[in-house]
Structure 1
Amino acid sequence: MTDSIEVKRVGKRERLATAAARIFHEQGVEKTTIADIARAADVPVGNVYYYYKTKDQLVQAAIGAHALGMRNVVAELERYEDPADRLKGLIRLWIGRSDLAARFGCPTGTLATELDKRGDGLDRELAVVLRALITWVRAQFAAMGRPDAAELSMALIASYQGISLLTNTFRDPELMIVEGRRLEKWIDSLAA
């Protein structure tokens, strides 16, 4: 979580998008009010409507915040020279968020599940974000010389989504930590 000084420097539109992503993750889209998001973003409720006319626009903004967050993560991971190290860095990031997963599940996965039930197409917008991560993971496996990069990328993301669900269901962050260690060993075995 960012500190309040850093949050104040970001514009209201960005604060609202980031807050929407966080509050939707914690409470779900249906239970979240625009007032909840305004409070979390430290923006007066009346000002929200200047930037976002509807709750669906805030959902779209939250999807954009997910995309931005993913791009930032990928940019950080690209600093590693070795693609196996990039993948293990991603896994360590997931492990570092195991407490959050235990409380609320995967931010993107839980939002995808909730949006799928709505039938308004926003789930497809979120799928684009998740597809970008899968594509990046696939590129890492391909850079490792793996001809089965597409299958491996799906296996890695599916493993994370599955362990996020179990971690949340049992409220046990240790499950994600153990699975993360297993995945790191798996990556090492594929790089050998």
Structure 2
Amino acid sequence: MTNSTRSGKRDRLAGAAVRVLHEQGVEKTTLADIARAADVPVGNVYYYFKTKDQLIEAAIAAHGHHLESVIATLERLPTPQERLKALVHSWVEQRDLAAKYGCPTGTLASELDKRDDGLDRAIAKVMGELLGWMERQFAAMGREDARELAVALMAAYQGISLLTNTFRDPALMEMEGHRLERWIDSLA
């Protein structure tokens, strides 16, 4: 087996872990569920990950890589205001998924917080990266209250994700997205 084949299966398992953990939750998810979703024989999972916690760590890393990719795409936009609004738009595009399962990163953070294994700190680091990026955007807009604004934006998104999921109503996310875009415009 070549290194790229190994890396491909490992990445498939990590990606499947992200999906299955989001859809089923940490406690209900088994290694067999993830293997099935990745189309990898369950016995092969142990070659890449010895425990479910190692797979959760890989899922957290995948969340981090996805965030890096999103930020790299947003950074191509010319102004911090446009970047923040594009971030909000990307959240709104995921409204159907949020209605079914909530925010992928937020729900994982909430579940991991109930455990005593430190994985909650790893997902908090990923969320902290997004918070820091948002803070830098608000600061680039000349806002001295950039940290407060970043926290408010993150809180608004996490809150609307919870409500969208609770009421199974994607329109709530869309409505809040429009409000957040107007709010960002008002801060410029």
Return 5+ residue gaps in structure 1 as ranges.
1-7
Instruction: Please name the residue that 2:158 is paired with.
Output: 161
RMSD of Structure 2 on Structure 1 (CA): 1.0
The partner residue of 1:141 within 132, 138, 141 is 138
Alignment-mate amino acid for residue 20 of structure 1: A
Q: Which runs of 4+ in 1 moved over 4 A?
A: none
CA distance in 1, matches of 2:38, 2:85: 33
SS class of match (1:11): helix
Instruction: Please name the residue that 1:188 is paired with.
Output: 185
The partner residue of 1:151 within 148, 154, 163 is 148
Instruction: Please name the residue that 2:48 is paired with.
Output: 51
Instruction: Please name the residue that 2:109 is paired with.
Output: 112
Instruction: Please name the residue that 1:27 is paired with.
Output: 24
Shift of residue 44, structure 1, vs aligned partner: 1.1
The partner residue of 1:71 within 45, 63, 68 is 68
Matched, 1:130 2:130: no
Alignment-mate amino acid for residue 86 of structure 1: R
CA distance in 1, matches of 2:9, 2:165: 31
Instruction: Please name the residue that 2:9 is paired with.
Output: 12
Instruction: Please name the residue that 1:60 is paired with.
Output: 57
Instruction: Please name the residue that 2:93 is paired with.
Output: 96
Normalised by the length of structure 2, the TM-score is: 0.96
CA distance in 2, matches of 1:66, 1:167: 21
Alignment-mate amino acid for residue 61 of structure 1: A
User: For 1:64-85, what per-residue CA distance to the aligned partner results, in whole angstroms no more than 9, with x for missing partners?
Assistant: 0100010010011011010000
Shift of residue 125, structure 1, vs aligned partner: 0.6
Instruction: Please name the residue that 1:42 is paired with.
Output: 39
CA distance in 2, matches of 1:43, 1:70: 26
